Every structure is written in C-alpha cells, then in structure tokens.
Amino acid sequence: MPSPEKFRKTLDDFHVEQEIIDEMYRGFDILTSKTNKKIKSAFFTQALKVMNEKLPPEKVREIFEANACCKSGAREKNSREIAKTYAGLDIADRLKLISMRPYLNMGSAELDEDGFLLVHAVSYHPGDKYECVCPTVSKIKRDCAIPREYCCCCGGHFKYHYEIMLGVKLKPVEIVSSPHDTDGEKPCAFRYYIQDAQLPAGNPGNKNFCIGSPIVLS
Ligand SMILES: [Zn+2]
Ligand SMILES: [Zn+2]
C-alpha cells in the first residue's frame, strides 16, 4: 500500500459508492504518502473494517491487490533476471533456487501437496513478534489490529513477482496467515492457484488442472 493517493483512486476505479468512501474516510481528511505511519495505519484499520462490512470479499481483495507495493524498480529487474536465468528449470526447482537467495527479498516458496504455490513472505521478526511485510504499516505501535485482509497488499506484491519469476499466471487463493490478526504470532503467508496450463508434464502444478470447479476464494 505505497500511497494513500493511489488507494483513493483505486476506490473510484472499482466503483465503490461515495457513501462507503465517506464512511471509510470519516475523521481522515488529508492523507498523503507523507502522512505519518501511525495515522495511515489507523486509517487503513478503519477503512478495512468498513470495506469488510460493506463490500464483497473479492472486491476488498482486488482493491488491496491493485495497491500492492514495490512492483517496479530493482525488485522487478531481479524477477526478470531470475525468469531468464532459470528458464530451463521446472517450477519446483526454480522455487528452491529463489528461496536460497535472500537478496531477492522474495521469502521462501514451495508447491504444497495439491500443487498450490505456498509463499512464506520474508519474515520480519524484529523482536519476538512478526511484522507485516508492508512498509506502510510495519514497525509501529498501534492501538488496535488492522484486519488481516490488509495482507492482500503483500499478497499482490508476491503474486506479481512470482508470476514473472515462474512464467505463470497465479490466482490468489488465500491469506494463510497474517501478523495482523495473530498479534504478530504468525508471518504473512499466501497460497496461490497456478493457472498456467503450459506446465511441463510431471510438474506437481499439473495436479490443479483436474479441478473442474472454480476455486473458492476465501
Ligand atoms: Zn504494502
Ligand atoms: Zn502483510
């Protein structure tokens, strides 16, 4: 969630009703990228509570995902380089190599037994608690927890980069865990459905393709 300005614009892009927007922003008139973190985090706590109550879950997810942080610059360049360097390898092997390269800041990832991509985001663990990986809300003392759906921002970040690195399309399935609703007991972690039907034969990702019914987003 890099910029409150972009977030506000996204609400219009997704046709969120003015009445809902007014309720989300009640008490928060001027919000910009320069607004201090504590205020931004209080705003997102309030905004998300309203969104969770008034909007369908897919829409909340899509809006936060559309605001995912750090998609360009050095991160993107690294992701493209990984895609090129490991082009000959299958997904499981690529994931092993990505997980062994902490400089990428892509955490660690694996395919679970159903062929879903499981991403454990970089674990920020400054004290004895995990922090959300999102720079907009990390490392501050808050009065109350932000709803866990905030992590769709983090999930969108990893989705973007893993799609490039693996050369597949991913569909976000769920937030496996979040520091927000566990009081920092658990890190940000995500599970994605691999949509690409072009996986090499024998790849565990292929197991997904026999699932005929649409994936239920939780
Ligand atoms: Zn973020
Ligand atoms: Zn997070």
Positive/negative CA dihedral, 126, 159, 168, 75: negative
Question: 200 alpha carbon to ligand 1 midpoint, in Å?
Answer: 33
Burial 49-83 (b: 16+ CB within 10 A, else e): bbbeeebeeeebbbbbbbbbbbeeeebeebbeebb
Question: 198 alpha carbon to ligand 2 midpoint, in Å?
Answer: 30
User: What pLDDT, on a 0 to 100 scale, did the predictor assign at position 195?
Assistant: 86
β-partners of residue 171 are 193
Question: 213 alpha carbon to ligand 1 midpoint, in Å?
Answer: 31
Structure tokens at 55: 């909007």
Question: 200 alpha carbon to ligand 2 midpoint, in Å?
Answer: 32
Question: 68 alpha carbon to ligand 1 midpoint, in Å?
Answer: 5
User: What pLDDT, on a 0 to 100 scale, did the predictor assign at position 213?
Assistant: 30
Question: 151 alpha carbon to ligand 2 midpoint, in Å?
Answer: 4
Question: 201 alpha carbon to ligand 2 midpoint, in Å?
Answer: 34
Tens digits of per-residue pLDDT, 66-107? 998 888 888 899 999 999 999 999 999 999 999 998 888 889
> Which of the ligands is closest to the CA of residue 41?
1
Question: 181 alpha carbon to ligand 2 midpoint, in Å?
Answer: 10
> Which of the ligands is closest to the CA of residue 176?
2
Question: 107 alpha carbon to ligand 1 midpoint, in Å?
Answer: 15
Distances (CA, A) of 158 to 18, 55, 67, 165, 174: 31, 24, 12, 10, 13
Question: 39 alpha carbon to ligand 1 midpoint, in Å?
Answer: 15
Structure tokens at 187: 């890190």
Residue tagged 């409150």 (tokens): 4
Question: 142 alpha carbon to ligand 1 midpoint, in Å?
Answer: 17
pLDDT at 203 over 60: no
Tens digits of per-residue pLDDT, 32-77? 888 888 899 999 999 999 999 999 999 999 999 999 888 888 889 9
> Which of the ligands is closest to the CA of residue 152?
2
Tens digits of per-residue pLDDT, 123-164? 777 778 888 988 888 777 767 789 999 999 999 999 999 999
